[in-house]
Structure formats: C-alpha cells, structure tokens
Amino acid sequence: MSQNAAPLTFEVTRRQDLRPDAEREAVLASPGFGTTFTDHMALATWTPGEGWHDARIRAYGPLSLMPSAAVLHYAQEIFEGLKAYRHEDGSVWSFRPEVNAARFARSACRLALPELPEGDFTGSIKALVEVDRDWVPAAGGEASLYLRPFMFASESFLGVRPAAEVTYGVIASPAGAYFKGGLRPVSIWVSEEYVRAAPGGTGAAKCGGNYAASLAAQEEASAHGCDQVVFLDGLERRWVEELGGMNLFFVFRDGRVLTPELNGSILEGVTRLSIIELAKEFGYDVAEARVSIEQWREGAASGEIAEVFACGTAAVVTPVGRLVWDGGEVTVGGGEVGEATARIRQALLDIQHGRTPDTHGWMTRLV
Ligand code: COI
C-alpha cells in the first residue's frame, strides 16, 4: 500500500518525570522478559490521504482508542521483535533490522495494512533508542533492550474492510532470558488438537492472531508440565512447523542440521535465517526440509537426533530437553545442552554483543 516520498522525522518530546536512576538500575540488574518498559515510545499515524505522518517520540503510556477501533474486533495487527545491544565501547547496535523491516512489510501486506518503508522502521527504533539509551543493559552479559514495533487498525469503524486509520508504534523493554530459570533445556508438548496455521492462512505473517491462536495449546502444554508447545502442519498433522513463538532446529549425530522448510505457514525467523548461515560456516550439512513428528520421536529415542533447539529473537537459542505427547515422552539429547547448540548460541551472541568481528555485516549502529 502507500509509500511516503520523504522519510519520517520522529519529533521528540522528552518526559520530565523520568524513572529514577535507582529504579532503572534495579530493572537492568535483573530484567526478566517483557515486564518493564522504558520512559518513551515511538508513534506514527497513517491515513489514505496523508500516508504516514505525525511521527513522534513521547512518554510511554496508555493509548487512547475508541471501543469501536477495528483492531479490537477484527485483529488487523502485526508486530516485530528485535533487540538493541550495548557494546564494550558504549555504542548501541541492532541485529539485521532491515530483515525485520522487510518481514514487517510482508506482514503488513498479508494483513492489508499500509507498508512502512524500511528507512522509517529503522528510523523509529533509532529515534527511540537514542532517547532511552540509558535503558540498554551494560555490555559484558547477555541482556539487551527488546524492541517491539507494532501496527494496528485504529480507525473507529465496524465494517469489515482494511482500516482507513492505522497506528504504528515502538515500545522497548530491557530483556534477559525469555524462559524462567535462564539457559536450560526446555520441555515441549506436541499439540495434536490445535494447529497454529494452515496453507493460505497467516502463519508466515507476524500477526497477533497467530499468537492468540497458540494460547489454548500453550495452556495445554503448561497443564502437562511443559514450557512450550510444538505445532504440526494443518493438513496432515504430521510435519513439525514451529513452537508458539520460535523456530526449531534438529542436529543429527551424523552432522546434518535440519530446520522445517518454509511452506507459507511457518514464520521466516531472522534468527533462523542467521543460524542457517552460521551452521553452514561451521561445516554442518544444513538443509531446510520437512521433519515429521515420528522422525523426531524415533530419532531422539535412538540418538540419531543428537540435539534439538528453539530459536527466535526473544529465545535466542534455547535447547530442547524433552518432547511430551499424549501417551508418551522422550528425552532429547540426554536432556543436556548439546555441543552444536552451545556453539551456535555463543557465536550468535558474540556477534550481537560485539565480542567478535561482524564479518557478515549484520549489525547496524543505533547510537
Ligand atoms: C520474538 O522472539 O521476538 C517474538 O516475537 C516471539 C515471542 C515469543 C516473544
């Protein structure tokens, strides 16, 4: 949909009531995931007549929406997830934001939302991180500032059609480990009742509806003592797709590395894409292919599948230690963090946190 000719300028209004330093430092010392937000947020508005306009940075706080806002009824909404990392010299960087921007544009297209140009996407995160730079955790650890760009139908209208007023925003939240307990192998429940996405649906788009559709299955996973749910394909209910919000990788004893191939209903993860490249460089025989749930169960039991890990911006690289289904379970990789998992995880974190040269040109300086 609409492209603006000139890049947006995010006008900054700094709040006077900044969170006290001691309070911010306490959050940064133990950030958790997704609970505390920085002092500001970015916002912009789109209408068919004006395109993107009114780009601004202002105090983080409630949005004013009519109860009739279309997003509340028809879920016309998309989002992204990326992080800002502080490097040893104090500078702040982001990992492949142009790939997130491109996916955001594809998601917008699928949800009939207006496209936000890549320069405005990166411009918005730069503007926000510039103002809230003190919220980026210190270098040296694994913590970062999680950035959540989002776009939704803010028009007050109950007819079912693409909204004629859309709001774009970015909020930011200091982030440590996504799973409680830090880095540890997680357990996965196989959802046999629910699917996350179907051919022709919105599975490849990063839209809230996909995550809403995963929640009942996630509840089922929790009820069975598992950390996450894995979804199978919607047609045959046989092929492994992804977790509730993460892609999957399988490491075989013979050095093969497989990740479920993109089929239109799997999210094209930025971390997934980067791991494919890194694993190839490490000499693994990497393929994007179909992996069946039987192959996972039997391969984990026989040891042919030596390691399984989940990946995503929030989860980074998280080992899987147990697969559970209705009537059985199997330990994966001895329930330990595997060698390939640990190596790939460390390599990725070292690039992101600036501890190793960025030979791929993946990092973009924000501040
Ligand atoms: C991310 O990894 O950024 C996501 O959006 C997934 C969600 C589970 C937090």
Task: With cut-offs at 50, 70 and 90, classify the pLDDT of residue 182.
Answer: confident
Task: With cut-offs at 50, 70 and 90, classify the pLDDT of residue 44.
Answer: very high
Take atom 8 of ligand 1 and give the residue whose Cα is closest.
Answer: 245
Q: Is the pTM of this model over 0.85?
A: yes
Containing structural domain, residue 343: 186-352
Take atom 5 of ligand 1 and give the residue whose Cα is closest.
Answer: 81
Total domains in the chain come to 2
Mean local confidence (pLDDT), 55-66? 98
Q: In terms of domains, do 335 and 262 share one?
A: yes
Among the three residues 175, 197, 230, which one is the final residue of a domain in this structure? 175
The pLDDT assigned to 4 comes to: 55
Q: In terms of domains, do 151 and 288 share one?
A: no
Condensed to tens digits (0 to 9), the pLDDT of residues 112-134 reads: 999 999 999 999 999 999 999 99
CA 160 to ligand 1 centroid distance, Å: 28
Take atom 6 of ligand 1 and give the residue whose Cα is closest.
Answer: 245
Task: With cut-offs at 50, 70 and 90, classify the pLDDT of residue 180.
Answer: confident
CATH no. for residue 252?
A: 3.20.10.10
The reply to whether 125 falls in a domain is: yes
Tell whether ligand 1 has an atom less than 6 A from the beta carbon of residue 245: yes
Q: Is the pLDDT of residue 76 over 70?
A: yes
Condensed to tens digits (0 to 9), the pLDDT of residues 283-299 reads: 999 999 999 999 999 99
Among the three residues 149, 175, 201, which one is the final residue of a domain in this structure? 175
Q: State both tokens at 33.
A: 């995931």
Among 77, 80, 178, 218, say which to mutate for ligand 1: greatest number of ligand atoms within 8 Å of CB: 178
Take atom 7 of ligand 1 and give the residue whose Cα is closest.
Answer: 245
CATH no. for residue 24?
A: 3.30.470.10
Q: In terms of domains, do 75 and 222 share one?
A: no
Q: State both tokens at 34.
A: 């997704």
Among the three residues 155, 175, 195, which one is the final residue of a domain in this structure? 175
CA 16 to ligand 1 centroid distance, Å: 31
Mean pLDDT of the chain: 97
How many whole angstroms from its chain centre is CA 252?
26
- Which of 59, 64, 72, 70 minimizes the C-alpha distance to 18? 59
Among 80, 231, 246, say which to mutate for ligand 1: greatest number of ligand atoms within 8 Å of CB: 246
The reply to whether 17 falls in a domain is: yes
Q: In terms of domains, do 152 and 238 share one?
A: no
CA 254 to ligand 1 centroid distance, Å: 31
Q: In terms of domains, do 121 and 194 share one?
A: no
Mean local confidence (pLDDT), 300-309? 98
CA 179 to ligand 1 centroid distance, Å: 12
Task: With cut-offs at 50, 70 and 90, classify the pLDDT of residue 1.
Answer: very low
Pairing mode of beta strands 40-47, 51-59 = antiparallel
- Which of 237, 233, 244 minimizes the C-alpha distance to 189? 244
292 strand-pairing partners: 239
Mean local confidence (pLDDT), 37-56? 98
Tell whether ligand 1 has an atom less than 6 A from the beta carbon of residue 314: yes
Taking the CA of residue 82 as reference, the ligand 1 atom at the shortest distance is: 3
